[in-house]
Structure 1
Amino acid sequence: MEDLVQLIDHLDAPEVVLVAHCHGSFPALGAADRRPERVSRIVYVSAPLPMDGFSVHGLVCEFEPDPAVRDGWRQRSEQVEDGWRLPPPSLDDAQARSSIAGVPADALARLVRLAAPQPLGTLTQPLRLSGAAATLPMSGVFCTGTGMSIAMVESLVRSGDSRFQVLTEPHVAFFELDTGHWPMLSVPDGLAGVLLHAAAGEGQRVTA
């Protein structure tokens, strides 16, 4: 998160649009919370909704109904090397942990080859927010190949959980892409188009 804050501070631009993929939603929101005057919008691509006081791991355990998924996270924490870092995923791991629909074989092989170890703290450290970014424009891009969709957001809102009411605010909009978890590899042109529409403030709204 601090790296993102430093990047924002050194960019020669009055405002930036932060685009976060997967668990990158946590440091992105954390950075926006610290520099809200510099961020014009946050776009979450195939990413969970970060919440104050939750870590990535805590959010999965709270809202993931599938015990196998939760066990998978526990098993990952048991693979820690040197007491602090997770090894990069193998090809089998990448295929098992997320939808790779539409990703060409050479792109998948490159993804695995360039993958780096990940500090365990990025998954277990809770996100602490001041609330400064609460009203920043936000866009969500759902990759339907992962089972996520705008209909799912509507279901969460109907559940009555107050934590999801923010998704009905007028500064929040959504898009769908018919692909798997890695749209930058499977449909790069489609993702680029969606990001431009998101930056322009377009997208589908959800009402309470």
Structure 2
Amino acid sequence: MAIIKQAARQTLGQLIGANNPVVTVPDDSQRQYSWTKKEVDVYWADIEKFKDGRESGRESSSEYFIGPVVTITAETASGRALLDGQQRLTTSTILLAVIRDILWQTNAPEAKLSANNIQRDYIARKSGRKDPMEYFLVLSLFDRDFFRDYIQTWSEISGECARTEAATRPSHHLIKDAYNNLYAKVRSRLQSMADDEDRLDYLDLLRECLIYGLV
């Protein structure tokens, strides 16, 4: 028997991540990733506006409500089935992966450590060398393998995902497009900054907005 939990305020970091039950899109829902450039652009504009307001110190900008997320937890299960909120959580995970990848590419030891922490804390990790990878957001069977290959299964040695899976569905192409779109937007913002310290500060503040500010 499933239990529908009461409504509760949670940040993105409290919903997905290493210290939380895994969030899974049920296979029988037949839902796939569907956000186009239009939705991703609106999402990014909202994140940027929220980030700017949060940095200004305005109390009204301390949190950004991204909408309701509905999960069901079975009495005997350690994970949660995601009924509503797939597009927002998937796109937020993609943006975290973008921050991770750009941090790694700066080649600064501090940045590489931050990239590893984002991966382990909010995307996927292995408890031990021979243990299977634990993914904190599990998409339905339509997108699961591609999303893992393109976004989640990341090497702390090379700083890259394998990306060997062919994009065989429209949703796979949308996942790639969302990553490339967000990557280009973050890179564009970084190009206007004078030095590496400013760039690292920007990436760290963007990470904080996602993890602690999105509610």
User: Higher relative contact order at CA 8 Å, sep ≥6: structure 1 or structure 2?
Assistant: 2
TM-score when scaled to structure 2? 0.27
Q: Whose helix proportion is higher, 1 or 2?
A: 2
Q: Whose strand proportion is higher, 1 or 2?
A: 1
